[in-house]
Amino acid sequence: MIIQYGQALSNYLYDVFVAKFDFWLAFGLVAQLFFTARFLVQWIASERAGNSVVPMAFWFCSMGGGLMTLVYGVVKREPVIILGQALATIIYIRNIMLIIKNRGSASKTLDR
């Protein structure tokens, strides 16, 4: 019985990661890695600052990885990915816009 489950798991993993491997699977994996890299960026920035910070690079990794994952979802016709990433990407873009706006306001205040 355990051997049968092991074989079934092996067959499943082979089917998912080897037999069905194509450009879009590779694209989706790269998108997920890019998206996950944002946490590494945030962790390093927080360690350097000595407190929790969210650097601009975090939002760019979020947006890039989110857009790539959205493209993957559209191509693969995955409604859960499409809905989740479409909303998330709007939030990432808005955060970038707010950061840029606040940086501009801060520099104008300093110039006075």
77 phi and psi, to 5 degrees? 60, 50
Q: pLDDT by residue (tens digit) across 5-24?
A: 999 999 998 988 888 889 99
Mean pLDDT of the chain: 88
Sign of CA pseudo-dihedral 103, 106, 110, 112: positive
Structure tokens at 74: 């559209």
Q: Does 74 have pLDDT greater than 50?
A: yes
Listed as own residue / partner, the contacts of 55-58 with beta carbons closer than 8 Å and 24 or more positions apart are 56/96, 56/99
Q: What is the pTM of this model?
A: 0.71
For residue 106, name the pLDDT band (cuts at 50, 70, 90): low
Structure tokens at 9: 């798991």
d(CA 5, CA 41): 39
For residue 110, name the pLDDT band (cuts at 50, 70, 90): very low
Query: Which pLDDT score, from 0 to 100, does residue 107 have?
Result: 52
Q: What is the DSSP string of 18-63?
A: IIT--HHHHHHHHHHHHHHHHHHHHHHHHHHHTS----HHHHHHHH
Q: In this predicted structure, which of 7-11, 81-85, 95-99, 108-112 has the lowest mean pLDDT?
A: 108-112
